Amino acid sequence: MRHRFAVGLTTLASLFACADAARAGQTLSGQTASGAYYQIQVPDGWKAGDSLVLFQHGLSFDPPKPNPSLGPLATLQLQEGYAVAASSYSQRAWALFNAPDDNAQLLDVFKQKVGAPGAIIPWGGSLGGLVSLKLAEDARFAPVPGVLSLCPPAAGSRTWDFGIDARLAYDVVCKDVNSAGQLPKGAAPMTWAYNLDDIPDNLSDLQDQAELARTLLPVNVCTGVNLPPVLQNDAMLRRLNELKTFAHITSDDFFLTDLGYATFGLSDLVRAPDKLGGINPFTTTGVVYSDAAINTGIARIVADPFAQLYLRWASDFRGRVDPSTKVISMHTSHDQLVIPAHESVLRATLPATQLTSALVNESKPTHCGFNTAEGVAAWEALRAWIAGAKQPSVADLQTGCQSAVAGGVAGPCRFDPSLQPPSFDSQVAPRPASTAPNVDASYSGLWYDPARSGEGIELEILPGNKAFVYFFTYPPNGVAGSQAWVFGMGDIVGNGIEFADVRRGQRDAQGKVTSQHWGRIALSFDTCTGGGMRWDGPSNWGSMEVPLVKLSQLDGLGCGSTSTIAQASGAWYDPVTTGNGFLVERSDPSRLQVLYFQLNTDGTQSWMIGTAGSDGNGGYSAQLIEPTGTQFGSAFDKTRIDKSVAYPLSMQLACSNGTASIALGPGSALTFALQRLTTPAGIAACTP
């Protein structure tokens, strides 16, 4: 989704070429660990604590290239004293799975080579507009006082509902055309997606009509789009008009571009191993389409819940930004690639006091076809708003644009306060509403697959739509030890939780604790007592999906409950033995569910589990079982698990501290001076 704003601002560099303001005093470039390239420019006089602009480019099928563009406003921003930096991203096409991490690595490079910035201002257009919004809700980039987002696909994952609808509608409308008019099929079951090897390598810009026409020859056979009139027939034009009407498209050029995204972009999204890796996030079952023939004939598919979760986690802007963050977003009024309806989604996501959303009234359709004065006006309005000026209105943007034109910047100015974006559902058929409730505090507890009794997860829902998971299991063949556990912090997304950075810890012989990225875990719930888990670990651990049933819950936090009773619940540790710890659930007033986990000096891991009973005086005791005997993943066999080894536990917990002792044998014990590490959501703060 490259945007035309860069073309519209090509005069900006020359506009300031003779200015006496500060020029870029330092230019840095290179490559980060992810494989993304970066470029940094720093003006003379910039010092640590000054502001940094992070420019985000649009969608491209090009592989990462050195010296990515700093954006069409870089000359102006440098003269105003901002440092400017950009990443090429490490992924092609829909790069949202890695783009935040690529930017985080770029920020680390900037801190090391230049200095720590104060405020960070992300901005970009098209896909880059959405990346900019998502950086604002990522704690790694705080503080983000403002975002400039041009023509963003703010509906995130729903952007691709348009793509799957257009792709499958083509099959219906063109089904009776000869084989030359049929789009290539990919591997089952997603036959509507090209195989990766069938996507051309030179598709950097899907608005390149000549390249698209060459690679989408079946579309010409079916619809005659872009053919000379002498080669078009009535049947072709009828099919073309039906597909354009279905997609709310008036332009032949945009029809071809949109179909390019619905084939190449969509296929890369679902096939690429660094994105969804072959699982389908799309549903057409239950969708009602406006075209009767398409509604009757379209293929009905159902999303894999984990693919749906992965796509939503990577793509959706959820508005979880600091209340002081200010956003200016604008769209061209007839954009038929990233439709103006995305602005209605953004307006529903952010409070009106944090968002100025504007449309410019264009005479013919463009994607992000802003001119120089409009871009400068939006940037300067954002700067002033961040500095304490009142929130700019659409009329204020028009006034600012006119001032820029009066100063010699290329116009015209087309901001129009009377224009309102349509709803997204009016342009893209809505998917059936999910009946699954959103994850809340009552989901904290122990979960397991009954067919795999002997392993499971401890899930702790935290405030701020975060969650912690510990997966207690066994090592695969070839990995030392008799037990294993991994852990991760994740993001709650509706009825699911995505743990993108699950880690595995170890302790060396000197006692040093380290952790390495292990993989990812996704949880998807149908109810507050049932759901599923998918893990994608290293090659020797593999990928697998299993059902989940809730085994225990926190006292007072049953399904839908807002009670706050289970004060002892949470994670506890002794700072002297970092890497070891306890996970505690108060399951009723007289019992605790206790998990103990440990990193051993030989590099292996251990864990124990048990139910502790109360002595009535604030103390608890239990027999902690140390299960062993089986292996991870498909090699798991619950009949082989040995639970014969148990160790006595005694524990005393107060508000934020406590003690614990595990007897290992005559005269031998592990003792802990405990401190509270986490407090689950829904648990009242205790009084010391």
Q: How far apart are CA 111 and CA 101, in angstroms?
A: 15
H/E stretch holding 462 reads strand 456-462
Question: What pLDDT sits at residue 528?
Answer: 93
With beta carbons less than 8 A apart as the criterion, state whether 32 and 73 touch.
Answer: no
d(CA 100, CA 182) in angstroms, rounded, equals 38
Question: Residue 490 has which token pair?
Answer: 């994740």
pLDDT of the residue at 615 = 87
In this predicted structure, what is the pLDDT of residue 208? 62
pLDDT at 665: 85
Contact 182, 221 (CB under 8 A): no
Residues in the chain: 688
Handedness of CA 538, 135, 419, 252 (dihedral sign): negative
Q: Is 380 helix (H, G, I), strand (E, B) or coil?
A: helix
d(CA 362, CA 373): 14
CB contact burial 270-281 (16+ within 10 A = b; e otherwise): bbbeebbebbbb
Q: For residue 556, is it left (φ>0), alpha (ψ between -120 and 50) or beta? A: left
Torsion of CA 166, 167, 170, 172, to 10 degrees: -100
- Nearest C-alpha neighbor of 244 from the set 228, 259, 233, 263: 259
Can you give the pLDDT at residue 20?
37
Looking only at the bridges linking them, the beta strands covering 445-448 and 543-550 are antiparallel
The pLDDT of residue 209: 60
Query: Is the Cβ–Cβ distance between 375 and 151 less than 8 Å?
Result: no
330 three-class SS? strand
Pair 293, 204: CB distance under 8 Å: no
Give residue for tokens 């403002």.
Answer: 146
**Residue that the structure tokens 């049953």 belong to:** 558
- What structural domains and CATH numbers belong to the chain? 5-154+317-427 (3.40.50.1820), 158-311 (no CATH), 441-676 (no CATH)
Asked if residue 189 has a cis previous peptide bond (ω within 30° of 0), the answer is: yes
3-class DSSP state for residue 332? Answer: strand
What is the secondary structure of 519-537 as a DSSP string?
EEEEEEEEETTEEEEEEE-
pLDDT means over runs of 10, the chain (688 residues): 46 37 75 97 97 96 92 97 98 96 98 98 98 97 98 98 97 95 94 92 65 77 91 96 96 92 95 95 98 98 96 97 98 97 98 98 96 97 98 98 96 97 97 92 96 98 96 96 97 96 92 94 96 96 97 86 71 93 91 96 96 90 97 96 95 92 91 95 74
